[in-house]
Protein backbone atom coordinates (compact mmCIF):
# COMPACT_ATOMS: atom_id res chain seq x y z
CA UNK A 1 0.00 0.00 0.00
CA UNK A 2 1.28 3.45 -0.92
CA UNK A 3 1.40 6.25 1.64
CA UNK A 4 -0.59 9.30 0.61
CA UNK A 5 0.60 12.83 1.24
CA UNK A 6 -2.22 14.70 3.00
CA UNK A 7 -2.48 18.33 2.08
CA UNK A 8 -4.65 20.16 4.58
CA UNK A 9 -5.26 23.89 4.40
CA UNK A 10 -6.22 24.05 8.07
CA UNK A 11 -3.24 25.11 10.11
CA UNK A 12 -4.60 23.54 13.29
CA UNK A 13 -7.11 20.83 14.12
CA UNK A 14 -8.30 19.94 17.58
CA UNK A 15 -11.18 17.64 18.44
CA UNK A 16 -12.57 14.68 20.33
CA UNK A 17 -13.52 11.82 18.01
CA UNK A 18 -14.78 8.23 18.05
CA UNK A 19 -13.24 6.74 14.89
CA UNK A 20 -9.47 6.83 14.47
CA UNK A 21 -9.09 4.46 11.51
CA UNK A 22 -7.26 6.07 8.59
CA UNK A 23 -5.21 4.80 5.66
CA UNK A 24 -1.42 5.10 5.41
CA UNK A 25 -0.43 8.76 5.00
CA UNK A 26 2.06 11.43 5.94
CA UNK A 27 2.13 15.21 6.30
CA UNK A 28 4.52 17.82 7.60
CA UNK A 29 2.37 18.72 10.59
CA UNK A 30 2.71 17.30 14.09
CA UNK A 31 -0.05 14.90 15.12
CA UNK A 32 -0.80 13.87 18.69
CA UNK A 33 -3.43 11.30 19.74
CA UNK A 34 -4.54 10.71 23.33
CA UNK A 35 -6.68 7.56 23.66
CA UNK A 36 -9.40 8.21 26.24
CA UNK A 37 -11.39 4.99 25.76
CA UNK A 38 -11.24 1.80 23.70
CA UNK A 39 -8.28 0.77 21.58
CA UNK A 40 -6.85 1.07 18.09
CA UNK A 41 -3.76 -0.16 16.23
CA UNK A 42 -1.32 2.50 15.03
CA UNK A 43 1.51 1.82 12.59
CA UNK A 44 4.24 4.46 12.47
CA UNK A 45 7.08 3.96 9.97
CA UNK A 46 6.47 0.21 9.95
CA UNK A 47 6.34 -0.14 13.75
CA UNK A 48 3.01 -1.34 15.16
CA UNK A 49 1.45 -0.18 18.44
CA UNK A 50 -1.78 -1.12 20.19
CA UNK A 51 -3.16 2.12 21.62
CA UNK A 52 -5.26 1.69 24.74
CA UNK A 53 -6.94 4.07 27.15
CA UNK A 54 -4.37 6.47 28.61
CA UNK A 55 -1.85 6.08 25.75
CA UNK A 56 -0.46 9.12 23.93
CA UNK A 57 1.01 8.79 20.44
CA UNK A 58 3.00 11.64 18.89
CA UNK A 59 3.73 11.58 15.17
CA UNK A 60 6.47 13.99 14.10
CA UNK A 61 6.54 15.71 10.66
CA UNK A 62 6.76 13.40 7.61
CA UNK A 63 6.48 10.18 9.58
CA UNK A 64 4.41 7.64 7.60
CA UNK A 65 1.54 6.35 9.72
CA UNK A 66 -1.89 4.73 9.67
CA UNK A 67 -4.62 3.63 12.08
CA UNK A 68 -6.71 0.45 11.90
CA UNK A 69 -8.81 -2.04 13.89
CA UNK A 70 -10.45 0.52 16.15
CA UNK A 71 -12.70 -0.76 18.93
CA UNK A 72 -15.08 1.58 20.79
CA UNK A 73 -12.45 4.28 20.75
CA UNK A 74 -12.77 7.82 22.01
CA UNK A 75 -9.75 10.03 21.63
CA UNK A 76 -8.34 13.53 21.53
CA UNK A 77 -6.44 14.48 18.38
CA UNK A 78 -4.54 17.64 17.50
CA UNK A 79 -2.76 18.32 14.20
CA UNK A 80 -0.72 21.49 13.82
CA UNK A 81 2.28 23.02 12.12
CA UNK A 82 5.53 22.89 14.15
CA UNK A 83 5.70 26.70 13.81
CA UNK A 84 2.53 26.91 15.91
CA UNK A 85 4.69 26.23 18.99
CA UNK A 86 7.95 28.20 18.55
CA UNK A 87 9.36 26.84 21.83
CA UNK A 88 9.25 23.29 20.44
CA UNK A 89 9.74 23.91 16.71
CA UNK A 90 13.35 22.72 16.64
CA UNK A 91 12.43 19.60 18.61
CA UNK A 92 9.75 18.66 16.11
CA UNK A 93 12.06 19.18 13.14
CA UNK A 94 15.34 17.83 14.56
CA UNK A 95 14.39 15.18 17.11
CA UNK A 96 12.37 11.95 17.11
CA UNK A 97 10.77 10.03 19.99
CA UNK A 98 12.71 7.04 21.31
CA UNK A 99 9.36 5.42 22.10
CA UNK A 100 6.46 6.80 20.08
CA UNK A 101 3.82 5.91 22.68
CA UNK A 102 3.70 7.20 26.25
CA UNK A 103 1.28 5.49 28.63
CA UNK A 104 -0.27 7.76 31.26
CA UNK A 105 -2.82 5.18 32.45
CA UNK A 106 -4.96 8.34 32.80
CA UNK A 107 -3.09 9.15 36.03
CA UNK A 108 -1.55 12.39 34.75
CA UNK A 109 -4.33 14.81 35.68
CA UNK A 110 -2.86 17.76 33.78
CA UNK A 111 -2.56 15.93 30.45
CA UNK A 112 -6.03 14.41 30.85
CA UNK A 113 -7.55 17.78 31.69
CA UNK A 114 -5.90 19.50 28.72
CA UNK A 115 -6.89 16.73 26.31
CA UNK A 116 -10.54 17.07 27.31
CA UNK A 117 -10.57 20.86 27.64
CA UNK A 118 -8.77 21.88 24.43
CA UNK A 119 -11.47 20.77 21.95
CA UNK A 120 -14.17 22.45 24.05
CA UNK A 121 -12.21 25.69 24.14
CA UNK A 122 -11.26 25.42 20.46
CA UNK A 123 -14.92 25.48 19.38
CA UNK A 124 -15.81 28.58 21.38
CA UNK A 125 -16.07 31.97 19.73
CA UNK A 126 -13.34 34.07 21.33
CA UNK A 127 -11.16 36.70 19.70
CA UNK A 128 -8.19 35.32 21.64
CA UNK A 129 -9.02 31.67 20.92
CA UNK A 130 -5.85 31.02 18.92
CA UNK A 131 -3.59 32.41 21.66
CA UNK A 132 -5.42 30.39 24.32
CA UNK A 133 -5.19 27.24 22.21
CA UNK A 134 -1.45 27.70 21.70
CA UNK A 135 -1.07 28.18 25.45
CA UNK A 136 -2.93 24.93 26.19
CA UNK A 137 -0.94 23.07 23.53
CA UNK A 138 2.34 24.49 24.89
CA UNK A 139 1.42 23.29 28.39
CA UNK A 140 0.42 19.86 27.04
CA UNK A 141 3.77 19.27 25.30
CA UNK A 142 5.72 20.84 28.13
CA UNK A 143 4.28 18.23 30.47
CA UNK A 144 4.55 15.42 27.91
CA UNK A 145 8.18 16.16 27.00
CA UNK A 146 9.14 16.01 30.67
CA UNK A 147 8.45 12.26 30.39
CA UNK A 148 9.04 11.69 26.67
CA UNK A 149 12.54 10.61 25.67
CA UNK A 150 13.78 12.19 22.43
CA UNK A 151 16.87 11.58 20.34
CA UNK A 152 18.60 13.55 17.61
CA UNK A 153 17.29 12.79 14.13
CA UNK A 154 20.54 12.26 12.26
CA UNK A 155 20.63 11.43 8.58
CA UNK A 156 22.83 8.45 9.32
CA UNK A 157 20.06 6.99 11.45
CA UNK A 158 17.32 7.60 8.90
CA UNK A 159 16.21 5.88 5.75
CA UNK A 160 16.96 7.47 2.39
CA UNK A 161 13.30 8.36 2.11
CA UNK A 162 13.27 10.17 5.44
CA UNK A 163 16.48 11.99 4.50
CA UNK A 164 14.92 13.18 1.24
CA UNK A 165 11.80 14.43 3.02
CA UNK A 166 13.93 16.19 5.63
CA UNK A 167 16.01 17.84 2.89
CA UNK A 168 12.83 19.10 1.20
CA UNK A 169 11.37 20.33 4.48
CA UNK A 170 14.49 22.34 5.28
CA UNK A 171 15.02 23.79 1.81
CA UNK A 172 11.65 24.15 0.06
CA UNK A 173 11.72 27.95 0.28
CA UNK A 174 14.83 27.92 -1.91
CA UNK A 175 15.02 27.13 -5.62
CA UNK A 176 15.78 23.41 -5.19
CA UNK A 177 15.49 20.54 -7.64
CA UNK A 178 16.03 16.79 -7.70
CA UNK A 179 19.71 17.25 -8.61
CA UNK A 180 20.25 19.37 -5.49
CA UNK A 181 18.85 16.63 -3.26
CA UNK A 182 20.99 14.04 -5.04
CA UNK A 183 24.17 16.08 -4.56
CA UNK A 184 23.44 16.95 -0.95
CA UNK A 185 22.49 13.42 0.10
CA UNK A 186 25.00 11.61 -2.15
CA UNK A 187 22.20 9.47 -3.57
CA UNK A 188 21.35 8.92 -7.23
CA UNK A 189 18.61 11.24 -8.45
CA UNK A 190 17.04 8.30 -10.27
CA UNK A 191 16.89 6.32 -7.02
CA UNK A 192 15.34 9.28 -5.17
CA UNK A 193 12.71 9.70 -7.87
CA UNK A 194 11.97 5.98 -7.91
CA UNK A 195 11.74 5.84 -4.11
CA UNK A 196 9.30 8.75 -3.85
CA UNK A 197 7.05 7.36 -6.54
CA UNK A 198 7.17 3.78 -5.25
CA UNK A 199 6.71 4.48 -1.54
CA UNK A 200 4.68 7.69 -1.54
CA UNK A 201 3.18 7.93 -5.02
CA UNK A 202 4.44 11.49 -5.45
CA UNK A 203 7.20 13.16 -7.47
CA UNK A 204 10.02 15.24 -5.98
CA UNK A 205 8.69 18.49 -7.45
CA UNK A 206 5.12 17.77 -6.38
CA UNK A 207 6.20 17.15 -2.79
CA UNK A 208 8.26 20.36 -2.67
CA UNK A 209 5.36 22.31 -4.16
CA UNK A 210 2.95 20.82 -1.63
CA UNK A 211 5.08 22.29 1.16
CA UNK A 212 5.05 25.66 -0.57
CA UNK A 213 1.30 25.55 -1.17
CA UNK A 214 0.66 24.88 2.51
CA UNK A 215 2.50 28.11 3.34
CA UNK A 216 0.62 29.90 0.55
CA UNK A 217 -2.79 28.90 1.94
CA UNK A 218 -1.71 30.17 5.35
CA UNK A 219 -0.77 33.54 3.86
CA UNK A 220 -3.97 33.67 1.80
CA UNK A 221 -6.04 33.09 4.93
CA UNK A 222 -4.17 35.90 6.66
CA UNK A 223 -4.62 38.14 3.54
CA UNK A 224 -0.87 38.65 3.81
CA UNK A 225 0.19 40.34 0.55
CA UNK A 226 -0.64 40.03 -3.14
CA UNK A 227 -0.17 36.98 -5.33
CA UNK A 228 3.34 37.93 -6.47
CA UNK A 229 4.51 38.54 -2.91
CA UNK A 230 2.95 35.32 -1.62
CA UNK A 231 4.48 33.30 -4.48
CA UNK A 232 7.95 34.66 -3.67
CA UNK A 233 7.57 34.12 0.07
CA UNK A 234 6.63 30.49 -0.52
CA UNK A 235 9.54 29.63 -2.80
CA UNK A 236 7.92 29.90 -6.25
CA UNK A 237 10.00 31.59 -8.93
CA UNK A 238 7.03 33.04 -10.80
CA UNK A 239 3.34 33.67 -10.26
CA UNK A 240 2.65 31.46 -13.26
CA UNK A 241 4.40 28.51 -11.59
CA UNK A 242 2.57 29.28 -8.34
CA UNK A 243 -0.81 29.36 -10.10
CA UNK A 244 -0.15 26.08 -11.93
CA UNK A 245 0.98 24.24 -8.78
CA UNK A 246 -1.88 25.62 -6.70
CA UNK A 247 -4.48 24.72 -9.33
CA UNK A 248 -3.14 21.16 -9.53
CA UNK A 249 -4.09 20.73 -5.86
CA UNK A 250 -7.26 22.82 -5.53
CA UNK A 251 -8.56 22.94 -9.10
CA UNK A 252 -8.71 26.75 -9.01
CA UNK A 253 -6.20 29.61 -9.04
CA UNK A 254 -4.98 31.09 -5.72
CA UNK A 255 -6.90 34.32 -6.36
CA UNK A 256 -10.15 32.46 -7.06
CA UNK A 257 -9.61 30.23 -4.03
CA UNK A 258 -9.19 33.34 -1.90
CA UNK A 259 -12.36 34.94 -3.30
CA UNK A 260 -14.48 31.83 -2.87
CA UNK A 261 -13.17 30.53 0.46
CA UNK A 262 -11.62 33.41 2.37
CA UNK A 263 -13.48 36.59 1.60
CA UNK A 264 -16.93 34.95 2.00
CA UNK A 265 -15.97 33.67 5.45
CA UNK A 266 -14.96 37.15 6.56
CA UNK A 267 -18.10 39.02 5.43
- For residues 119 and 196, state if they share a domain: no
Contact 239, 43 (CB under 8 A): no
Spatial CA neighbour of 44 closest among 101, 121, 84, 116: 101
Q: What percent of the chain has pLDDT above 70?
A: 91
Cβ within 8 Å of residue 128, ≥6 positions away: none
- For residues 133 and 160, state if they share a domain: no
Q: What is the CATH number of the domain that holds 38?
A: 2.60.120.280
- For residues 81 and 213, state if they share a domain: no
Q: What is the pLDDT of residues 225-242, one digit of tens each?
A: 889 999 999 999 999 999
- For residues 187 and 120, state if they share a domain: no
Three-state SS for 189?
helix
Contact 29, 80 (CB under 8 A): yes
Cβ within 8 Å of residue 179, ≥6 positions away: 189
Segment (H or E) for 246:
helix 239-250
Q: Which pLDDT score is estimated for 135?
A: 95
Intervals of the chain under pLDDT 50: 9, 156-157, 263-267
Residue 97 sits in which domain range?
4-152
- For residues 129 and 238, state if they share a domain: no
Amino acid sequence: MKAVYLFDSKQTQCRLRRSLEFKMHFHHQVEVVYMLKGECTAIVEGEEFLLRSGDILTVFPNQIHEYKDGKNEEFFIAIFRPETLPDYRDLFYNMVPVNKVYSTENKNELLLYLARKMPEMYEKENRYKEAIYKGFLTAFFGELFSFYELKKAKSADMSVLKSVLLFCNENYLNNICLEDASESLHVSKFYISHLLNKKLGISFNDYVNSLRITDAVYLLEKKDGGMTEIAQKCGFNTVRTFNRAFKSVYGVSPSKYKRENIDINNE
